[in-house]
Amino acid sequence: MKWKKVEIKVQPAAEEAVANILIEAGAQGVVVEDGPEKIGLAAYYHDHENFSAIFRNIKEQLAKLSSYGLATGRFEITVNITRDEDWSTSWHQFFKPLKVGRRFLICPDWEDCQQDERKTVLINPGMAFGIGGHQTTKMCIELLEKYAGQRVVKMLDVGCGTAILSIIGAFLGVQAITAIDLDPAAVAAARENIAINGVKGIIEVRQGDLTAGLNERFPLVTANLLPELISRLLPALPGVMSEGGLVILSGIIEEKKGAMLAELAELDFTLLEEKQEEEWISLVARKG
């Protein structure tokens, strides 16, 4: 079978946004490789007559990223034809076990990660994106370790992706978790990862757009999202959170922080903590 391989080199700040564009365009897989100055992303598409429209859409979506405030720099894009039928497992080499926070080891489910000092979280990203190595996810996990636990009865994970945060929330003692993602590939990957980690009875996965359709209130909300999605989420937070509840927001860039802090204050949220790694910022805020 022939595939069209689209390779894009981007600034680190734009990595997740570009990967999301490639997946939404129908990529049959995305490989991410760190470089000395830029991140390389490779996506695979069926080699058929629709590819020209797919590629045009990708370029249009890339052109819009700068308007979100991301430091995209100049994109380097190449397209090649490949006959490699084993690409679907060849990207395994890029995902290795990763120590995160004080007590967790994120382990690709094809690796042998048996050890005693850390709790192992098994992840198979499938066609979804990431296994927890990005700064935004690592900061979320560190903040969950601090703010989640036996006292948290329910948790909402908005934009759950591969369900890393939901699984860690369950391991930290949260009793009932709702995980939501709009991408059907992420929903499928989330359900698989929840099953292989033995927390199927704790986490419910739904396909949906942010908080649309939710009628519950949660004492803890996590949202590791692109900046424009966080901006969409903020006005809906009061309607899905318990009074005194906590929200952990990640994926914020420095240029957007001031506006988001102002909106949180306007919505009667109190900032409790701020973490930053490189250009990425995570916030913890309390409702009321």
The string of DSSP codes covering the chain is: --EEEEEEEE-GGGHHHHHHHHHHTT-S-EEEEE-SSSEEEEEEEE-STTHHHHHHHHHHHHHHGGGGT------EEEEEEE--TTHHHHGGGG---EEETTTEEEEETTS----SSSEEEEE--TTS--SS-SHHHHHHHHHHHHH-STT--EEEEET-TTSHHHHHHHHTT-SEEEEEES-HHHHHHHHHHHHHTT-TTTEEEEE-STTTT----EEEEEEE--HHHHHHHGGGHHHHEEEEEEEEEEEEEHHHHHHHHHHHHHTTEEEEEEEEETTEEEEEEEE-
158, 255: one domain: yes
pLDDT score recorded for residue 114: 72
pTM: 0.73
Give yes or no: residues 121 and 16 share one domain. no
100 and 69, same structural domain?
Answer: no
For residues 132 and 112, state if they share a domain.
Answer: yes
Considering its fold, how many domains does the chain have in total? 2
Per-residue pLDDT tens for 10-41?
Answer: 888 788 888 888 888 887 667 777 777 788 88
State which residues form the domain around 120: 96-287
Are residue 103 and residue 70 in the same domain, yes or no? Answer: no
Of the candidate ranges 43-57, 196-210, 225-239, the one whose mean pLDDT is the lowest: 43-57
Of 65, 92, 119, at which residue does a domain stop? 92
Give me the pLDDT at residue 38, please.
Answer: 84
pLDDT tens sequence across 166-222: 999 999 999 999 999 988 878 988 999 999 999 999 999 999 999 998 999 999 999
Answer yes or no: do 218 and 125 share one domain.
Answer: yes
Out of 58, 92, 126, a domain closes at 92
Q: For residue range 80-96, list pLDDT tens digits in order.
A: 887 655 555 555 555 67
Q: Do 222 and 251 share a domain, yes or no?
A: yes
Are 77 and 123 part of one and the same domain? no
Residue 283 has pLDDT above 80, yes or no: yes
Instruction: Please indicate, yes or no, whether residues 223 and 271 belong to a single structural domain of this protein.
Output: yes
- CATH number of residue 130's parent domain: 3.40.50.150
For residues 136 and 58, membership in a common domain is answered with no
